[in-house]
Structure 1
Amino acid sequence: MAFESTLPTEDPLLSLSREMIYLRRDFSRQSQQIEQLATLLRKFVTDDVAPVQAVPRLPQPFIGRQQIDPAMVRRVIRRRQDRHKHFPANLFADPAWDMLLDLAAAKAERKRVSITSLCLASGVPMTTALRWLSVLADKKLIERKEDPADGRRVFVELTDDAFAAMARYFQSLDGDDAPSE
C-alpha cells in the first residue's frame, strides 16, 4: 500500500504562479546585466583602438530641489512583489504604477531602462505592458529614446514632470519609508 500524506498540498497553480514571479524577477535582473554587457561589447568592437568605457549614465536627476531615494523606491517595488506570499498572485495588477516605480528608481540611479526590461518589470504580458507604455507616453509621463549604439533598442525614461511628480509622492509619505502600494 502506498504511503499517503495527510499534509495539505499547495495548489499547483499557485505554486507555478509563484515560481513564474521569481523567474520573471531573475530574468529582468539578468536582462539588464546582459544589455549593459552588450553595450560595452559593441563599444569595444566599434572602437578598434579606443578603450572600453563605462555605460553612459543619465545626468543626476534633480528637478528643482526634488530628488528620489532609489533605495526607497526599490524597497517599495520589492514589497509590492512580495504580496503574492499572502494573496493570490493574479489578484494584483497595476502595471502603470509598477512601470513608473521602476523608471523613477532607474532615473534616480542614473540608469537606462529598455522597453523589454520595463515590460518585464510590469508583471503583465508583453502586449498589455506595451499598451500601458502607449498610455503613459500619451499622458506625457514617459518618453522613448533610441539607443544610439543599437538602433534596434529603445530606452524609456520618465519625463522631468513625471519624475518631479514621483519625487513629490515619495516626499509626501509621512515617515513611512516603504509604503505597501
Structure 2
Amino acid sequence: MGSRERHMEGSPGRDMPRASLLALARQTQQARIHCSAHFPKHVFRDSAWDIMLELFITAEEGRTLCVKDIMAISGESATGTVRRIEGLEEAQLVVRRYDPRDHRRMLVELSGRGRHAMISFLQHLFEAGEAASRDGVSVTPISFVPIAPRQPQRGLGDAG
C-alpha cells in the first residue's frame, strides 16, 4: 500500500475511493471554470476556493505548487494572491514552506486540516448529488445565514 493510501486510512475519505474524490474535485473545478462562460467573471469569483481545489488536486497527483503557480490560477495580482494565501494560512488550511531545491521559491500545500476539510466537503458533494439523483428524493437548499447581519454604513445623506 502506498503512502498516500495509508494517509487516507482513518481520514474522512476512507469510504470513498481516492480516484472518486480526485474526479469530483476536478469536476467541481471545471464547473467553476465554465461558470465564467455564463456569468460575469467578477460575480462568481472566489479565488480562495479555486486555490483550495487546485491544491487538493495537485496533492492527489503528487505535485506541489509555488506562490507563482497559485497567482496564475487565482487570476489575481501578486498582492491579492498573497492575501488569499495568508487568509487560508490563518485558517490553518494551507502551509507555506521554502522549496528545498530552490530557496527563492515558496511552496504552498494543504495542511492536514485543509486536506481533511476538502475530503469532507467533496464527500458531502458526492452524497448530496447521490441524494438528488434518486427518484422521489427532494433535496432542500439550505440558506446561508451570516453570523451577524451587516448594518448599512451611514452615508452623508442619512439623518442622524
| TM surpasses 0.5 | yes
Structure 1 runs of 4+ aligned residues shifted over 4 Å read none
Counterpart of 2:55, as a letter, is L
Shift of 1:96: 1.0
Does residue 168 in structure 1 map to residue 114 in structure 2?
A: no
Shift of 1:127: 1.5
Moved more, 67-76 or 123-132: 67-76
Instruction: Give TM-score, length-normalised by structure 2.
Output: 0.67
Stretches of structure 2 that go unaligned for 5 or more consecutive residues are 131-160
- Which gives a bigger RCO, structure 1 or 2 (Cα 8 Å, sep 6+)? 1
| Alignment deviations for residues 96-146 of structure 1 (CA, whole Å, 9 cap, x no partner) | 111111111111222111111112212322211111111111121110121
1:104-143 matches, cutoff 5 A:
104-143=56-95
Stretches of structure 1 that go unaligned for 5 or more consecutive residues are 1-58
Report if the CA contact (8 A) 1:96-1:132 is conserved.
yes
> % of aligned pairs identical?
29
Aligned to 1:22: none
Instruction: Give TM-score, length-normalised by structure 1.
Output: 0.60
Q: More helix by proportion, 1 or 2?
A: 1
Q: Distance in 2 between matches of 1:63 and 1:167?
A: 12
RMSD: 1.9
Q: How many residues are matched?
A: 119
Which of 150, 157, 160 is the aligned partner of 2:109?
157
Does residue 72 in structure 1 map to residue 18 in structure 2?
A: no
Q: Distance in 1 between matches of 2:27 and 2:75?
A: 16
